[in-house]
Amino acid sequence: MRYDLNLLPTFLALMEERSVTRAAERLGITQPALSNALARLRTMMRDPLFIRERYGMQPTQKAQELAPAIAAALAALDDVILGQQDFDPAQAERLFTIAPNSFVEFALMPAVVARLGREAPGIRLRLTPFGSDLAETGVISGSTALVLGRVADPPDNLVVQHLMDDGLACVVRADHPQIGDSMSRDQYERLKHVNMLPPGRLRVGLFQALERQALRREVAVSVTHFLAIPELIAVTDYCTTLPHLICRHLARDPRLKIVPSPVDLGRFPVEMAWHVRYRHDPAHRWLRSLIGEVARTVSVEPGPVG
């Protein structure tokens, strides 16, 4: 029997999106074209494959059994075909979807975008949230090129690379009545704090660091993005504990000052992960290399605190 290999990406898109509309958008085709491809898939596989239900297209048992083999076969083809292609960043026109956590988005992505503007002006980025569930980012299915942050318990189809480590420091307003150039444990514990609650695992690292040092903290306000913090700190006597790279940016604000944390809160890793199917893709390899270089450069720049 002859198989139409052009139908296999349609199968995977439907398997991962569970929606004809979203799968068509992902493949860059019309919904009628995708529906036609699905009809041919059903004939080829001799199975309905996907059943329309209230909350989307649900795969049949046969579709679930076929999915791993089809994904592996397409990944192997990508390795063979894409690995032989040349990539010229100066001439390339391409869109990459990346899922950075809020720390990476604030501290690293501006430098990445600046490099792309100089070296690959035709490369466009679409940033999508990096939450606590890797599956929601799209990296496990391969629809997202990269995730950047802390990658805990990755599945077997992800490759993880360490990018850098960062530490923690404290931020208060510049004319704080109680805090000078340093802060004691007692002062830290008596102050009220602004707490960062990103959707990922960065907050886990800070909470665990505080617990290891038996350092208490009274949280007065919790926010969901770093951009909210300087405005809160500038008009209160509150304190916040943030990564050094964030503090480096905030040190430029004359309303704020950075002081070392009263105890050593350790360091946390920043990692990059991608689907195995992009292991040998020249464009993906180039982008990963650029991000790695930017991370190394940013992480060794002098910071506002020792």
Q: What percent of the chain has pLDDT over 70?
A: 92
Average pLDDT estimate for 226-253: 94
- Taken in order of first residue, the domains within the chain and their CATH numbers are 5-82 (1.10.10.10), 94-165+269-300 (3.40.190.10), 168-266 (3.40.190.10)
Model confidence at 306, pLDDT cuts 50, 70, 90, reads: very low
Torsion of CA 116, 119, 120, 124, to 10 degrees: 10
pLDDT at 261 over 80: yes
**Averaged confidence pLDDT in the chain:** 87
pLDDT at 153 over 60: yes
Burial (CB count within 10 angstroms: exposed 0-12, middle 13-18, buried 19+), residue 91: exposed
Which one of 12-26, 84-98, 101-115 scores highest in mean pLDDT? 101-115
Range of lowest pLDDT (155-159, 182-186, 206-210, 246-250): 206-210
pLDDT, position 5: 77
Cα distance between residue 217 and residue 188, in whole Å:
7
With beta carbons less than 8 A apart as the criterion, state whether 112 and 290 touch. Answer: yes
Instruction: Give 3-state DSSP helix, strand, coil % of the chain, rounded to 5.
Output: 45, 20, 35
Cα distance between residue 20 and residue 12, in whole Å:
12
* Contacts for 218 with CB less than 8 Å, ≥ 6 apart: 189, 191, 192, 193
Furthest C-alpha separation in the chain: 80
With beta carbons less than 8 A apart as the criterion, state whether 258 and 250 touch. Answer: yes
Whether this prediction's pTM lies above 0.85 is answered by: no
Model confidence at 6, pLDDT cuts 50, 70, 90, reads: confident
The closest of 242, 268, 265 to 232, measured between CA atoms, is: 242
Write down the number of H helices and E strands in the chain.
12, 12
pLDDT, position 252: 94
Model confidence at 191, pLDDT cuts 50, 70, 90, reads: very high
| 27 or 75: which leads in pLDDT | 27
Q: pLDDT (tens digit, 9 = 90+) per residue, 51-79?
A: 988 778 899 999 988 888 888 777 777 66
pLDDT at 118 over 70: yes
Average pLDDT estimate for 138-166: 88
The closest of 194, 147, 169 to 244, measured between CA atoms, is: 169
Q: pLDDT (tens digit, 9 = 90+) per residue, 204-234?
A: 667 788 888 889 999 999 998 888 999 999 9
* DSSP H or E segment with residue 23: helix 20-27
Which one of 13-27, 91-105, 126-140 scores highest in mean pLDDT? 91-105
